[in-house]
Amino acid sequence: MALEYKDLVRLQFWILAVILLGFLEKVFFVAEYGTANGGIDSSGLIYVAEIVSAAKRALSRVLIIIVCEGFGTVKPRLGHLLTKV
């Protein structure tokens, strides 16, 4: 993807963002489980993990709306319509 970034559809960057947020979410959850197993209070990590999880779900739902409306495949860019989505 890094080598051919000029030929990619903008939709693929949205998909990459959802995947990266998923990785980040799991990193925080695994860190929280690790500290919980050690007997340390990890309430801060669980809050951060839940916020990242909510952001990932929101971005994936926006991605579904974008795909359903045909952006990225039929229309090349969102432009000023991004705020409406």
- 30 within some domain: yes
Answer whether residue 54 is part of any domain.
Answer: yes
Number of domains in the chain: 1
Asked if the structure places residue 79 within a domain, the reply is no
The yes-or-no verdict on residue 84 having pLDDT over 70 is no
Q: Is the pLDDT of residue 54 over 90?
A: yes
pTM, to two decimals: 0.71
> Does residue 8 form part of some domain?
yes
Q: Is residue 74 part of a domain?
A: no
At residue 78, the pLDDT reads 63
Is 71 inside a domain boundary? Answer: no
What was the pLDDT predicted at 77? Answer: 63
pLDDT at 82: 65
In DSSP notation, 6-72 reads GGS-HHHHHHHHHHHHHHHHHHHHHHHHHHHHTT---HHHHHHHHHHHHHHHHHHHHHHHHHHTTBT
Contact indicator for 14, 78 with CB cutoff of 8 Å = no
The tens digit of pLDDT for each residue in 9-53 reads 777 888 888 999 999 999 988 888 888 888 777 778 888 888 999
Look at residue 76 and tell me if it is in a domain. no
Domain that holds residue 9: 3-65
Domain contains 82: no
DSSP conformational letter for 82: G
Question: In this structure, are residues 78 and 44 in contact, taking their beta carbons and an 8 Å threshold?
Answer: no
